[in-house]
């Protein structure tokens, strides 16, 4: 296990956007100084796993769940870093504390790294750990949150689980980018991809939920098991609402009473149109609104928060 470096008092450069702080190759850096070798296989082959957790009002939300997913992903990809969970936790806290951000988007990454002799054997590479905290961002902007997102269900196939395990968070996003361009051509805000059986899978950075006759459902195949998705499953259980992880046919999504998408980047985000057709009344649904409110209320719940200790802050 490596020793963590001491914190240095370098400030965020106010001229940089987004402002933020990174941890890379054993040191904390202003975000604009965190640069990767072009020989890193994370860059050359998208050979990496990562996670994104957020900080809201000065506290991480469900950090333990994000860490667990990240460490499992590394193990599935035969990667290892010289830090244990407690040390990664400390690094993430420090990035946020040094950035001073009260609401942050915190990404942590393990790339395959570089090989001493540029060997093509992944076992020769020295895996690299990177983390950074930047301002909180959302899949949906303010206007889209108010009117509901407009989705396009594209015929782009999400990379099948037999090729790339979607439960290991990854950067294999060319299918997502293809979906986005197809969606923009159709005047939509963002895309939904389909799975190998033609059912709904997920979109660029989010899981999707349909509500029909009071029953909530979300795809289970060809998706990342999102932490926000899990929060909705937990909320449904608390509310006594049936919630099923199951196949959703494209027609069933389009004829749902309500549809919403979920992501760490934005939380619960309503959908009001799919392929140009209104969902339900075409307004943001009542259950979607309730889920959004409950989701943000949960951020004050001690079961899920880990408070960041900012330099100079006094104990509350
Ligand atoms: C492909 C994909 N699906 C789903 C999600 C939502 O996951 P989470 O709720 O853990 O942010 C993400 C998040 O970035 C994602 O990249």
Ligand 1 site, CB within 6 A: 52, 202, 205-207, 224, 226-229, 262-264
Q: Which numbered atom of ligand 1 lies nearest the CA of 166?
A: 1
Non-local (6+) Cβ contacts of 86 within 8 A are none
**How does pLDDT run across 80-128, given as a tens digit for each residue?**
999 999 999 999 999 999 999 999 999 999 999 999 899 999 999 999 9
Distance 52 CA to ligand 1 centre (A): 8
Distance 186 CA to ligand 1 centre (A): 24
CA distances from 192 to 165, 225, 250 (A): 18, 16, 10
Residues 33 and 131 in one domain: yes
Per-residue pLDDT of the chain (316 residues; tens, 9 = 90+): 777 877 665 656 767 778 999 999 999 999 999 999 999 999 999 999 999 999 999 999 999 999 999 999 999 999 999 999 999 999 999 999 999 999 999 999 999 999 989 999 999 999 999 999 999 999 999 999 999 999 999 999 999 999 999 999 999 999 999 999 999 999 999 999 999 999 999 999 999 999 999 999 999 999 999 999 999 999 999 999 999 999 999 999 999 999 999 999 999 999 999 999 999 999 999 999 999 999 999 999 999 999 999 986 554 4
Distance 224 CA to ligand 1 centre (A): 6
Backbone angles phi, psi at 131, to 5 degrees: -140, 150
Residues 129 and 186 in one domain: no
With b meaning 16 or more CB within 10 Å and e meaning fewer, what string describes 221-239?
Answer: bbbbebbbbebbbbbbeee
Q: Is 191 helix (H, G, I), strand (E, B) or coil?
A: strand
Domain count, the chain: 2
Q: How remote is the C-alpha of 210 from its chain's centroid? A: 20
Distance 314 CA to ligand 1 centre (A): 34
- Whether 146 is covered by a domain: the verdict is yes
Residues 198 and 287 in one domain: yes
The pLDDT assigned to 272 comes to 98
Cβ burial of 61 (10 Å; 0-12, 13-18, 19+) is buried
Q: Which numbered atom of ligand 1 lies nearest the CA of 176?
A: 1
In which domain, by residue range, is 130 found?
21-135
- Whether 305 is covered by a domain: the verdict is no
The pLDDT assigned to 316 comes to 41
Q: Whole-angstrom Cα distance, residue 22 to residue 17?
A: 14
The pLDDT assigned to 5 comes to 77
Task: State which of 263, 265, 266, 298 you would mutate to test the pocket of ligand 1, scoring each by most atoms of that ligand within 8 A of its C-beta.
Answer: 263
Residues 128 and 146 in one domain: no
Largest CA distance in the chain: 61
Residues 246 and 291 in one domain: yes
What is the CATH number for 94? 3.30.470.10
């Amino acid at each position: 296990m490596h020793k963590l470096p001491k914190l240095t008092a370098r400030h965020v450069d106010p001229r940089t956007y987004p402002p933020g702080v990174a941890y890379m190759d054993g040191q904390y850096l202003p975000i604009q100084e965190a640069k990767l070798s072009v020989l890193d296989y994370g860059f050359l082959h998208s050979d990496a796993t990562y996670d994104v957790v957020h900080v809201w009002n000065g506290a991480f939300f469900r950090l333990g769940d994000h860490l667990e997913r990240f460490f499992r992903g590394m193990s599935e990809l035969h990667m290892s870093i010289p830090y244990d969970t407690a040390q990664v936790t400390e690094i993430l806290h420090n990035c946020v504390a040094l950035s001073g951000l009260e609401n942050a988007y915190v990404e942590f990454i393990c790339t395959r790294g570089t090989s001493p002799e540029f060997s093509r054997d992944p076992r020769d590479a020295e895996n690299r750990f990177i983390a950074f905290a930047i301002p909180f961002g959302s899949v949906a902007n303010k206007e889209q949150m108010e009117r509901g997102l407009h989705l396009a269900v594209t015929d782009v196939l999400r990379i099948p689980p037999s090729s790339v395990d979607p439960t290991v968070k990854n950067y294999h996003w060319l299918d997502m980018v293809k979906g986005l361009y197809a969606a923009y051509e159709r005047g939509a805000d963002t895309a939904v991809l389909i799975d190998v059986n033609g059912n709904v899978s997920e979109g660029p950075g989010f899981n999707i939920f349909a509500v029909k006759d009071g029953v909530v459902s979300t795809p289970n195949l060809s998706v990342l098991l999102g932490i926000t998705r899990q929060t909705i499953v937990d909320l449904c259980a608390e509310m006594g609402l049936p919630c099923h992880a199951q196949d959703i046919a494209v027609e069933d999504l389009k004829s749902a009473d309500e549809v919403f998408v979920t992501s760490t980047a934005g939380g619960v985000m309503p959908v009001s149109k799919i392929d140009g057709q209104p969902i339900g009344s075409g307004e943001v649904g009542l259950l979607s609104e309730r889920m959004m409110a409950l989701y943000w209320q949960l951020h004050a719940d001690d079961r899920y928060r880990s408070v960041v200790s900012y330099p100079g802050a006094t104990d509350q």
